[in-house]
Amino acid sequence: MVRVHPGSDAEAQGLKPGDEITSVNGYKPTRDGFWKIEYIYNILQPQPSLRIDIRAPNGGVRQMNVAAKVTQRSRVGHLYDFKNEGEDRHHSLRVRYAEKGKELLIVKIPEFILSVSEVDAVIAKMRKYDNVILDLRGNPGGSEETLQYLMGGVFEKEVKIFERVTRNATKELKSKLVHPAFTGKLVVLVDCDSSSASESFARVIQIEKRGTVWGDRSSGRLMEAKEYVHTIGTSRVLAFADSVTEAELKMSDGGSLEHIGVNPDSLVLPDPTDLATGRDPVISKAAEALDVKVTPEEAGTFFPFEWPKE
């Protein structure tokens, strides 16, 4: 358990960061199968409560039934509400920075949704430092244009990112140069939730030997798909959709990351005690590799999690 929502039934019953959930309604959560649990209970069949088995950092085990929070909403929302939701999302997805003197800059990019000018601003700030840690943990990917310009901002030459292979054609995606580029030492952080464009970025950094990748193996979800929307009915219409994979992405070394992910150069994961105390050993170890001293306790304060407004 990485974090527990404040005010939730789980918090009231004593669930804490660092607790390991070993079972959800009898199903064991694993790296390969956890998405199925989320899909079933978040989309297909939401439940009023879930029975979970827990192992604490000290080894103690217990079980609890955690109630879901049910919020009744109006079918028709106000424009003001949608505007606020958009502003909250934009705030949560902003680029954040942490500095360790003039020696090190840590850049947290939650999603690849940056405009060209925003990428320029990120690279301009990076150029002021000799060492940069680019934190892409939890980054699900996003815009190819953001990927191209961010990649172009850390290379002085054009580099091939991947080939998009469809049934009828193969097309290369290359970086777009940002001058002057950041030329200092670079470490990229990824984890099991780093997907798509963030995985591509990390893998190119490895292939081109531009820097090193630290953290956990990434998700291995890169194939491109197109959504097709359908409807049934006349006076009362039911809408549904399906997603069809249309392209495979092959990296410049000929390999595919689909179902494989990016294997970091250095595997570093927080343990239950780190989660319970808010330490971040990943940033700490990456900084140490750049000859900069950052304690896990200090690293854990750089990017505090921000709960969305309800």
State the pLDDT at residue 32: 84
Q: Residue 276's Cα: distance from chain center in Å? A: 21
Residue 225: name the closest of 245, 241, 196, 200 by CA: 245
Classify residue 180 by burial, with Cβ atoms within 10 Å: 0-12, 13-18, 19+: exposed
Query: CATH 3.90.226.10 in the chain, residues?
Result: 84-274
What amino acid is encoded at 20 in this protein?
E
State the pLDDT at residue 81: 53
Going from the C-alpha of 163 to that of each of 45, 57, 157, 211, 217, the distances in angstroms are 38, 44, 18, 22, 22
Q: Cα separation of 106 and 146, whole Å?
A: 19
3-state secondary structure of 198: helix
State the pLDDT at residue 82: 45
Q: At what angle do helices 116-126 and 144-152 cross, to 10 degrees?
A: 30
pLDDT (tens, 9 = 90+) of the chain, 310 residues, equals: 799 999 999 999 999 999 999 999 999 998 888 888 888 888 888 889 999 999 999 999 999 999 988 777 665 555 555 455 555 556 678 999 999 999 999 999 999 999 999 999 999 999 999 999 999 999 999 999 999 999 999 999 999 999 999 888 999 999 999 889 999 999 999 999 999 999 999 999 999 999 999 999 999 998 777 778 898 888 788 888 887 888 889 999 999 999 999 999 999 999 999 999 999 999 999 999 999 999 999 999 999 998 877 6
State the pLDDT at residue 235: 77
CATH of region 84-274, choose from 3.90.226.10, 3.20.20.80, 3.30.70.260, 2.40.420.20: 3.90.226.10
